[in-house]
């Protein structure tokens, strides 16, 4: 898989964190750069670590699933993408409460990076370099999360749902691409 595809996957998996970061920005009365960087660091770090964990887990099972691994990759990405599209339909916005909880941030970071774990399993199956991929995913997530906090504070929840929808569509399209490549459709 080329760097552009990995970057596109990084954009896709970062959309959950981007949407959550928008929510964190919505929760601020005024922007706090230090807290915005902390939010971005947490989301970026978890998004970088989870593919590595998934890669190690997926590598353990590769010999058993080699003949249908492309179907597993497609199904995982389609499920994650479908879930993101479904969640993008929610229309909830709350008043800013200006709360800063590291416990909540850790939980949010884990919740938004579960899809990155599944991507790591997919990368193990496809024998993709996990170090470069994880760095790209972490950096893209960091940048988008920081931007998300700023946008959330400035524009409100109008972008949160669009980000989740976009990320879901991207992941499904990547899954279709993987399936078509392995079935030699194009």
pLDDT at position 72 over 90 = no
Cβ-contact 104, 35 below 8 angstroms = no
Q: How many residues does the chain have?
A: 186
Give the 3-state secondary structure of 46-95: HHHHHHHHHHHHHHHHHHHHHHHHHHHHHHHHHHHHHHHHHHCCCCCCCC
CA distance 86 to 29: 29
Q: How confident is the model at residue 130 (pLDDT cuts 50, 70, 90)?
A: very high
Q: Give pLDDT, residue 103.
A: 84
pLDDT at position 47 over 90 = yes
Handedness of CA 160, 93, 22, 42 (dihedral sign): negative
Q: How confident is the model at residue 30 (pLDDT cuts 50, 70, 90)?
A: confident
Query: Is the entire prediction scored with pTM above 0.85?
Result: no
Q: How confident is the model at residue 172 (pLDDT cuts 50, 70, 90)?
A: confident
* Tens of pLDDT, residues 82-123: 877 887 787 665 555 566 778 888 888 887 787 788 889 889
* Tens of pLDDT, residues 139-171: 999 999 999 999 888 876 566 677 667 767 876
Q: Give pLDDT, residue 12.
A: 86
Question: Which is higher by pLDDT, 40 or 178?
Answer: 40
CA distance 40 to 53: 20
Domain ranges of the chain: 3-92+99-182
pLDDT at position 28 over 60 = yes
């Amino acid at each position: 898989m080329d760097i552009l595809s990995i970057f596109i996957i990084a954009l896709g998996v970062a959309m959950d964190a981007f949407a959550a970061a928008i929510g964190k920005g919505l929760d601020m009365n005024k922007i706090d750069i230090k807290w915005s960087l902390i939010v971005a660091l947490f989301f970026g770090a978890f998004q970088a670590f989870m593919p590595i964990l998934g890669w190690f887990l997926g590598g353990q099972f590769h010999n058993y699933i080699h003949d249908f691994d492309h179907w597993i990759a497609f199904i995982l990405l389609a499920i994650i993408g479908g879930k993101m599209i479904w969640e993008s339909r929610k229309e909830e916005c709350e008043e800013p409460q200006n709360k800063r909880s590291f416990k909540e941030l850790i939980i949010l970071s884990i919740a938004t990076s579960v899809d990155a774990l599944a991507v790591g399993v997919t990368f193990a199956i496809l024998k993709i370099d996990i170090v470069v991929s994880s760095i790209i995913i972490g950096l893209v997530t960091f940048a988008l999360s920081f931007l998300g906090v700023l946008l959330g504070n400035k524009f409100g929840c109008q972008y949160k749902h669009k980000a989740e929808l976009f990320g879901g569509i991207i992941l499904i399209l990547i899954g279709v691409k993987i399936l078509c490549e392995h079935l030699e459709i194009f």
